[in-house]
Structure 1
Amino acid sequence: MPISRPSGQIATRPLLWTISVALAVVLLIGVWATGGLRAAPRPRIRRPATAIDLGGYEVTVTDAVLRRPARGSVVSLLVTLGVKNKERRSALLDDFTINALSLESAGGPAVTAAMAQATSQGADVNMLPPRVPVTVVLRYVLPRGTVPPPGFHARLALWRYDHREDFFYGHVEWVSRKPADPKSRQSAEFAVPLPLRREGL
């Protein structure tokens, strides 16, 4: 004898199916609208020794070396840049290094930014003079006592820069396209792989 089922149970299944499909569609639309289904943008890769136009600056990565001093246990990653301020006013070195650059590393311990030092015409400077090439050395440090393994690699991410000038006071404000939120999915404009030389390792 066939088993009879309550008619309410039979009618409930299509209703639950319809609700589930509707919820799935709404979820997908929400994810798509917030960019979740789009691949995160990737910076354009440029080779070292290539001049890169960041709007307000022109940057060329000239060297990168992992160095352990003769005495001490802190390994430094030194990245040397040629930088030219393309505008007609000087710009702060700190403004450039904090907002226009970021380092990405993998295959080893975390790297921490330590300092930036600039020289122009044989003298130390803390400004980027207009239209004059400046040599900038970025120093990053690895945790004390660590040794970067052979697979350790890094690249410098470069963020495009614009500027705004106040009409009354002639004040120049550099405006980076780097997002203020570190969790942002926005990517840098350019990336430069760093062929790492090793000294004292």
Structure 2
Amino acid sequence: MTASPASNPAYGELTSRGASTNIVWHHSTVTRAARAHQRGHRSAILWFTGLSGAGKSTLANAVNSALFEQGLACYVLDGDNIRHGLCKDLGFSDADREENIRRIGEVAKLFLDAGVVVLTAFVSPFRADRDKARSLVDGGDFIEIHCAADLGICEERDTKGLYAKARAGEIKEFTGISSPYEEPENPELRVDTGGQSLDDCVAQVISHLESQGIIPAVN
């Protein structure tokens, strides 16, 4: 019979809060720097934030495609997809939103160490939560990208019908309607996803990555 984590010393001693003690971080024999050298580009976290309907997922996936076409290691962590699995136990209260972003920050950090350009597409409405995700990694590794489309444009798009439901009171604590969205004050990039074409938005992100030496410039 296999011992449970709580009774097996190999798992560490579980506290009442579920946090393990007696654990040690194991460093990989293959370093992030080695992966960057092999692949010919650095890794980074591209954190797309904005209102629902602002174009975060659309832009993140378009940038991801552009990077993939260059043969670069990249992956998108999408808000809805994550809530189907890793965060399916969470709702949309402030506390659950905070925990959702905490988990994503930790997962993104693992992708960063794996040498991947990881693109996260989440509303992530609170500055404090985004700042906590940024604090997990070194300077220059976290690129906050504000998808700046105003509420009116997002409501016009309403691709999922969420704003209409929120206005009707069918969805509680909906960002932009009954729950606040705190815009980034000093993001690395502010992209006008409400007014610019998708191609122009992608070009703006790619240009920034090239200028920071994260990916090689294409001649």
Q: Which has the higher strand share?
A: 1
Same fold (TM over 0.5): no
- In the superposition, the TM-score normalised over structure 1's length comes to 0.28
Bigger-Rg structure (1/2): 1
- In the superposition, the TM-score normalised over structure 2's length comes to 0.27
Q: Which has the higher helix share?
A: 2
